[in-house]
Amino acid sequence: MYPPIEWGGLFQRPQHLAREFCRKLGTVIYIQPAGLRNPSLLDLKRIRGFCSSTASHPSDKMRYKGLIIKTLPFIPLHGLALTEAINAAILDRFILRLKNKQAPCILWAAAPAPFFAKSTVVQGDFPLIFDWLDDYAIFRHLPGRVTEMQYELAAKADLVFASSKTLLKKAKQHGAKKAFLLPNGVDLQHWCCNLKGKLKGRISNNGAIVGYFGTLSHWLDKKLVVDMATRRPNWTFVFIGPRTDKGGLSPIFELANCIHIPEVNYYKLPELACDFDVCWMPFKASELTMSINPVKIYEYLAMGKPVVVPELPDLAELKNVLFVASNSNDWEQALEKAFAQCQDPKLVKQRQNKVKKYAWENIACDAIDMITKAGIVQER
C-alpha cells in the first residue's frame, strides 16, 4: 500500500483500511510515502517524524498482526528526472522482491506520486488498484505532475476506487477500466464516546461548545466562522488540528471565543471531542468541497453529536440526521436547532445507528468483494 500520508500522521482512510485488510488478508505492507511536494524548512519536524514513524502506535501494530510499516530510502524531491528515476527503482526493487515471495500481491496506490511514471511495477503487468481520495488538481501547492499522474493512474489501474461520487465520475471520464464508489467510514468503537471529557477543563468559558477537528486550511470559511463567533459570543468555537493556512485564518483566533488546539493524537482525540455539544464543518462551497466525502462527519455522528454541514453531494444519504446550511443565517439557525437537540437520547442513538453500515470493517469487506468480482488478480 502506497498512501499519501505517513502512518504516524493524521489517522485517516489509508491507515483504517490497512488495519482492516490485515484482519482479512493476512499481510499489509504500508510504505511510508515520499510526499507529493518538495519539502521546505518548515517540514523538518515532519521529516523527523517520518524517520521515527515506524515506532508510532505500537499497541496498534501488536493488535493487528501482519501490518508492516516500511520506510524506504526515497528522496523527497519531485520534478527532477534523476530523483524520480531513483525513487521508482527503489519502489520497484522492493515490490518485485515481495512478488517473488508472496502470492497474490496487489499494489494499492492511494497517492499519485510523480515517480510512478518511471516505475516498471506501476506501468507493467502487475495488479494495480488506485484508491482515489481527493482531486489533487485543486491543491494549488502541488506540482502539476501530481494532477497528471492521478489521471494516468485512473486510466492505467486495473481497478479504481473513488471516495466520492464526483471522483467516480472523473475516473470514468479519464478512461478507468473498472471504477466503483468506495465511501469513507468510521471506527465505531473508537468514537463510541463513553469517556470522561477533558476539553472543558482546558477552556475558560463553561458555555456551549461548537467543535471541529481536522486540518485547518484555506477550505475553512473564515468569514462564516468570524460571523458566527461574533454573533454568538456566549458560544465557544473549538478547532482541533494542524494549521496549514499560512496565517490566513488568524482573524478567527483573534476572537476570544475561538480556541485552537494543535494536532491531537488520534487515540486521544475522542477525550476532547466528546465534550463538543454540536459539531460543524464550516467549509466554503467550492470545487474542492464538492469532491470530498468527509471522514469527520461519520466520526461526529458516531459520537451521537448533532452536526451542521454545507450542502455536499456525498452526504445525501445522511441528510435526515444532519443540519444543512448555506448562508450565515442558515448556519446560525441550524446551530441553534442542533443545540436544542444535543441532549435527546433518542436522536443520539439515531445518529449512531445511521453510520453503523459505514464501519471501516464493512468498507474493507466491500473493497475485497469488488476486487474478487473484478478478477484482477486472475487476469494478471
Taking the chain (380 residues) in runs of 10, the rounded mean pLDDT of each run is 91 95 91 81 53 46 76 88 94 85 81 94 86 88 88 96 96 96 96 78 79 94 96 95 93 96 91 95 85 94 96 92 92 96 94 97 97 79
Alpha carbon distance 215, 300 (integer Å):
15
The pLDDT score that the predictor gives to residue 57 is 46
Q: Residue 189, exposed/middle/buried by CB under 10 A (0-12, 13-18, 19+)? A: exposed
Q: Where are the domains of the chain?
A: 13-185+359-379, 200-358
Q: Which three cell numbers stand for residue 75?
A: 528522496
Please, which residues have CB within 8 angstroms of residue 57's CB and are 6 or more apart in sequence?
A: 7, 8, 267
- For the domain made up of 13-185+359-379, give the CATH fold: Rossmann fold (3.40.50)
Alpha carbon distance 108, 127 (integer Å):
9
Cell 468510521: give the residue: 186
Residue 35 region, left (φ>0) first, then alpha (ψ -120 to 50), else beta? left
Architecture, CATH, for domain 200-358:
3-Layer(aba) Sandwich (3.40)
The pLDDT score that the predictor gives to residue 61 is 46
The pLDDT score that the predictor gives to residue 100 is 63
Alpha carbon distance 96, 13 (integer Å):
26
Report the C-alpha dihedral over residues 380, 32, 24, 369, rounded to 10 degrees.
-50
Q: What is the SS3 assignment for 372?
A: helix
The pLDDT score that the predictor gives to residue 192 is 86
The pLDDT score that the predictor gives to residue 190 is 93
Q: Which three cell numbers stand for residue 321?
A: 440526521
The pLDDT score that the predictor gives to residue 200 is 79
Q: Which three cell numbers stand for residue 93?
A: 526493487
The pLDDT score that the predictor gives to residue 262 is 92
pTM of the model: 0.89
Residues paired with 258 in a beta bridge: 237
